[in-house]
Amino acid sequence: MPNINKLLTDFLEYLEVERNRSERTIRNYEFYLRRFIKWAKNPAPAAISDEMIRRFRLWLNRSVPGRLNDNIKKNTQNYHLIALRSFLKYLARRDIKSLAPEKIELAKAPSRIVAFLEADELERILKIPLGEDLITLRDKAVLETLFSTGLRVSELANLKIDEVNLKRDEFTVRGKGDKPRVVFLSDSAKDSIKKYLNKRHDTSPYIFICHDRAKRGREDSGPLSPRSIERLVQHYAKAAGITKRITPHTLRHTFATDLLMNGADIRSVQSLLGHASITTTQVYTHITNQQLKEVHKKFHGKGK
């Protein structure tokens, strides 16, 4: 019987090759599972029990060594359990005796609070990049594309010119788990991309690339990194006088709330965001429930 560390290595390779999971996901799973294995002192698979999991959950829920008595958030505790459950499913698939994965239940996590831009904030941030120089045109196109498509920052960073059909105003992007979905470009996003690409004189395959101001875009350069896109968004949010923390994901949230507030059904929004589960999309419904707003307006304070 292979030891648990060897089985973990096999599992991570399985995620990479068979499940086509992202490098980041594999890295996170490895971190969570190695933490469990270290805590449990390298248990044999057959020794993993309900009681062991119960004690591990207690340990996660209390102060963890090296974290200055800072409790791990419920969502992060659940990430540990999700990774462990996936690992146990893998062991079951290989007929290796261990705890049944369905015996691991996730903790009830508090509802997420979604941050998004109000209409006037969105208008201000989109108006900030003014000018015809290459970098300003690029930044304008980045902001417009994020809001128009709801792309994740990693999806935007990896976007290539030949993947985007500017004649059809739509294109297919591969998101989490390499799952394809169709996204759409607004007229302003399409125009911004066209202006930016027309100004470029390089042969880079990527839509959004780094530019050395001195070279004026005439030499090939690598794609903008997700971190560079985050800094770009934060720069324009600050310039627009928005004091709350704004990230590319805030524009994704704004994309979703804008659709729902204007009457889009949640299943369509789920498809446009590339969410595997409708539960993930439902995080937006409590802030876009127009019916509740109308009920409050109609009935609240009428007795005064």
What is the tens place of the pLDDT at every residue in 150-183?
999 999 999 999 999 898 888 999 888 778 999 9
CATH number of the domain bearing residue 68: 1.10.150.130
179 exposure class (CB count in 10 Å sphere: 0-12, 13-18, 19+): exposed
DSSP of the chain: ---HHHHHHHHHHHHHHTS---HHHHHHHHHHHHHHHHHTTS--GGG--HHHHHHHHHHHHS--TTSTT-PPPHHHHHHHHHHHHHHHHHHHHTT-----GGG-PPPPPPPP------HHHHHHHHHS--SSSHHHHHHHHHHHHHHHH---HHHHHT-BGGG-BTTTTEEEEE-GGG-EEEEE--HHHHHHHHHHHHH-----SBSSB---TTTTT-S--PBPPHHHHHHHHHHHHHHTT--S---HHHHHHHHHHHHHHTT--HHHHHHHHT-SSHHHHGGGGGGS-HHHHHHHHHHTTTT-
Task: Enter the pTM of the model.
Answer: 0.72
Is 299 part of a structural domain of the chain? no
In a shared domain, residues 74 and 127: no
Q: Would you state the pLDDT for residue 109?
A: 66
Give the burial class of 77: count Cβ atoms within 10 A of its Cβ; 0-12 exposed, 13-18 middle, 19 or more buried.
buried
Same structural domain, 242 and 172: yes
Q: Are residues 90 and 135 in the same domain?
A: no
Give the model's pLDDT for residue 74.
84
Provide the domain limits for residue 67: 4-103
- Is 19 found in the same domain as 135? no
Q: Domain for residue 179, yes or no?
A: yes
Distance CA 87, CA 129 (A): 47
Tell me the sheet residues that pair with 223: 209
Tokens 């015996």 correspond to what residue? 103
* pLDDT number for residue 137: 97
Are 30 and 172 within one domain? no
User: With a cut of 50, which residues of the chain have pLDDT below it?
Assistant: 68, 214, 217-218
78 lies in the same domain as 215: no
Same domain, 146 and 238: yes
- Tell me if 34 is assigned to some domain: yes
Which of 103, 136, 159 is the last residue in one of the domains?
A: 103
pLDDT value of position 68:
47
Same domain, 65 and 172: no
Residues 222, 166 share a domain = yes
Q: Are 208 and 141 in contact (CB under 8 A)?
A: yes
- Cα–Cα distance between 274 and 179 in angstroms, integer? 8
Query: Do 97 and 151 have their domain in common?
Result: no
Q: Are residues 92 and 133 in the same domain?
A: no
User: Is the residue at 300 inside a domain?
Assistant: no
Q: In this structure, what CATH number is given to the domain that contains residue 172?
A: 1.10.443.10
For residue 217, what pLDDT is reported?
46
- Counting Cβ atoms within 10 Å, is residue 201 exposed (0-12), middle (13-18) or buried (19+)? exposed
pLDDT the model gives residue 288: 63
Q: Is residue 284 part of a domain?
A: yes
Same domain assignment for residues 86 and 123: no
CB 28, CB 78: distance < 8 Å? no
Residues catalogued as catalytic: 152, 176, 249, 252, 275, 284
- 70 within a domain of the structure (yes/no): yes
Q: Please say which residue of 45, 71, 103 terminates a domain.
A: 103
Residue located via tokens 């059904």? 265
How many domains is the chain built from?
2
Inside any domain, residue 258: yes
Determine the pLDDT at residue 280: 83
Structure confidence by residue, pLDDT tens digits, 21-46: 888 889 999 999 999 999 999 999 99
- Asked if the structure places residue 111 within a domain, the reply is no
